[in-house]
Amino acid sequence: MLLLATSLLAIPGHVAIVATGRVLQGLSASVVWTSGLTVLTETFGPTNFGEVIGYVMMSVSISNTAAPLLGGVVYSRGGYLAVSLMTLAAVLADVVMRLLMVDARQGGPGSLAANDRHKDVEDCEGGNGADDRGRTNRAQEPSSETLGEREPLIRKVSPEKAGAHQNLPELPDNEFTHTFSTFVICLAPEPDRIVQEMYRVTTPGGVLGLGVWADPWFGYTSDLWTKACKQLDPRYERARIMDDEWTQPEQVKAGLQRTGFNDVVLTTERGVWEWENFDAFAKYFFDGGNPGNERMIDNWKALDRSLGEVRPVFKRIVEEEYGQPNGTLKGYVPAHLVTARK
């Protein structure tokens, strides 16, 4: 529309044409201005908007000062048509650049959205050793459907092998657009090294997705286990499952920034864990191979006590605390969900 209006103004002569041109120009200029501001807000967000709008205002001032001067010079040399052609060229350039603009939400080089549905994925995941052992609310596995058309490279590592992920020597630098790890680094012996390796293999501008537990004691199981053990043997000491460093929100953010990640966004969610019955829960707790649960069990065994003694007491307490009217068990587990950008 701005192009049409400017073309109309290039035709010299009739007042009606000039008036129509000016009206159209005014209308389209307001659309361009408003949509421009919208795009800036969407792309840069509220935190960076101030800086960006500064550049915009600077450009407006420079144009307002330079345009009449330039117009005058071109008019005196080339006449009316030359000025119009110069204006048309500027508008045309604007149209071309708008058509080339990449929508930040759809991603593009250096502007990957945190939920971009493409490219390769490195999943330094452990899960909790429970997903195949009776949890009724299994997390949905990422499928090629949720990750876009291209077949993603997904690797999974069980918690027992978490240490193996401290090194990803077979993976090249800057390879993956998305790298994620769910609930394993807070249990691993050297979490910092895992995060450093994840940083290394992530492409610049790529996105890290991280799930970490929000409670270093993992009270969901350890509150009840400790209660049961202490009832039988007051010497039992509650096991500390994880470090503050990768469970406390401020420390998790600081850890990622220290590694080099930017734009860290952390939200804390209350996850719901449901089990069909105590047997399903016990399979996860006693046989799931989860390193956190094993630490609790080891503290009991260290007192030379047997699991057979504590199991019925634990069962009673778990059913009291988490039992639902329909016989299932349900409890809450707080977790941090984090995204960051390299």
Ligand X SMILES: *[C@@H]1O[C@H](CO)[C@@H](O)[C@H](O)[C@H]1NC(C)=O
Residue among 246 and 273 whose Cβ is closer to ligand X: 273
Q: Does 137 sit near ligand X (CB under 6 A)?
A: no
Beta carbons of 149 and 120 less than 8 angstroms apart: no
Q: Tokens 């993976």 — which residue?
A: 171
Q: In whole angstroms, what is the distance from residue 292 CA to residue 224 CA? A: 14
Residue among 117 and 330 whose Cβ is closer to ligand X: 330
Output the CA–CA distances (angstroms, integers) from residue 226 to 238, 303, 316, in the order listed: 6, 13, 13
The nearest distance, CB 220 to ligand X, in angstroms, is 16
**Binding pattern for the stretch 15-44 against ligand X, x by CB under 6 A and - elsewhere:** ------------------------------
CB neighbour list of residue 250: distance below 8 Å, 6 or more residues apart: none
**Binding pattern for the stretch 298-337 against ligand X, x by CB under 6 A and - elsewhere:** --------------------------x-x-x-x-------
Output the CA–CA distances (angstroms, integers) from residue 340 to 120, 190, 205, 325, in the order listed: 17, 20, 10, 41
Q: In whole angstroms, what is the distance from residue 298 CA to residue 238 CA? A: 11
Residue among 275 and 300 whose Cβ is closer to ligand X: 275
Show the tokens assigned to 307.
Answer: 């699991």
Q: How many residues bind ligand X (CB under 6 A)?
A: 4
The nearest distance, CB 276 to ligand X, in angstroms, is 7
Beta carbons of 11 and 81 less than 8 angstroms apart: no
The nearest distance, CB 329 to ligand X, in angstroms, is 9
Residue among 43 and 328 whose Cβ is closer to ligand X: 328
Residue among 82 and 139 whose Cβ is closer to ligand X: 139
Contacts with ligand X by CB under 6 A lie at: 324, 326, 328, 330
